[in-house]
Structure 1
């Protein structure tokens, strides 16, 4: 396996690993209001998230930023909670609203800080730290798109075959995500 494949796989596994449930929860909350017909819009939202966390990975690789890992581990569930709560507000229920792109980009910066510690450990002592950013980021993006596709598939099944109203799915999804986020915030309280 060459380095590109290795770091692509590491990025993909990092986002899809159930031990990193916070990333999956964030994506679940981010996609709560979308259906397959919004795929293009959702792709933009997910890519904004990837851009956000890639920016912080680059800044960490350049040693421009150094973060308190405990604080970041607390802030990640805060972003999940805010996303879940926004889903329940009228402004957050419009899949065409640009607010979700802004949220994904901004919160991607925070999640990227969490990635930065993992990425530093992964590339520690390696001269080609920069060369690994692209395959790692692409692996993360592909993993995110797989998760988003699965959430959209579940949404379609619930809505089209089980006749669950999209509003009810959003309330359930956002409530679940928000509840787990509060639990994670309590678990990671840094103060």
Structure 2
């Protein structure tokens, strides 16, 4: 149980690491369209993302899949930009339809696969040669899921408070946050 808790803490710390803002931006980018009333949808989206990176972590842990680290490091911010572009589309319209939500689940699953490749070298360094990868991956991914849900809850709390204060102007706040994330991530890409 101690090993599981160790890897769980590592997963939480990996997401909440101030040096790893790309993950924070990504989480905000896919929950920006929702409120606390949509909590089931958001938990599903977060879980779809976690399942995606759990699969690639597992496959890379078994050394069945491997992609150049520089390529993955470029693809991760590109997924965030694509999420922001998707948000622009929805912010112009109303809330996403059921079909659009299904598409978003699939997109987040695929993006999770890409992001999981970014974690693969990190998790490989943590696992001992004779250690099974199941417990570390399970603990690490549960930690990632918990940290993501913590970020989502904090962000939705801010959106809820802003909605009370700004009322009809909340759409513009969402748009502004989306633009800020877009340009911060674009700067990340250009600085590499």
Fold conserved between structures, TM > 0.5: yes
Shift of 1:83: 0.2
8 Å contact kept, 1:31–1:42: yes
Tell me if structure 1 keeps the 8 A contact 2:59–2:65: yes
From 185, 188, 192, the counterpart of 1:184: 188
Please tell me whether the aligned partners of residues 36 and 156 of structure 1 are also in contact (alpha carbons under 8 angstroms).
Answer: yes
The runs of 5 or more residues in structure 1 that have no matched partner are none
SS of the residue 2:20 aligns to: helix
Asked if the contact 2:58–2:133 (Cα under 8 Å) also holds between the matched residues in 1, the reply is no
Answering whether residue 137 of structure 2 is matched by residue 133 of structure 1, we say yes
Unaligned runs of 5+ in 2: none
Asked if 2 retains the 8 angstrom alpha-carbon contact of 1:15 and 1:143, the reply is yes
Question: Could you list the runs of 4 or more consecutive aligned residues of structure 1 that deviate by over 6 angstroms after TM superposition?
Answer: none
Q: After alignment, is 117-126 or 149-158 more displaced? A: 117-126
For the residue of structure 2 that corresponds to 1:98, the secondary structure is helix
User: Secondary structure of 2:83's partner?
Assistant: helix
- With the length of structure 1 as denominator, give the TM-score of the two structures: 0.92
Normalising to structure 2: TM-score of the pair? 0.92
Which of the numbers 170, 173, 176 marks the counterpart of 1:166? 170
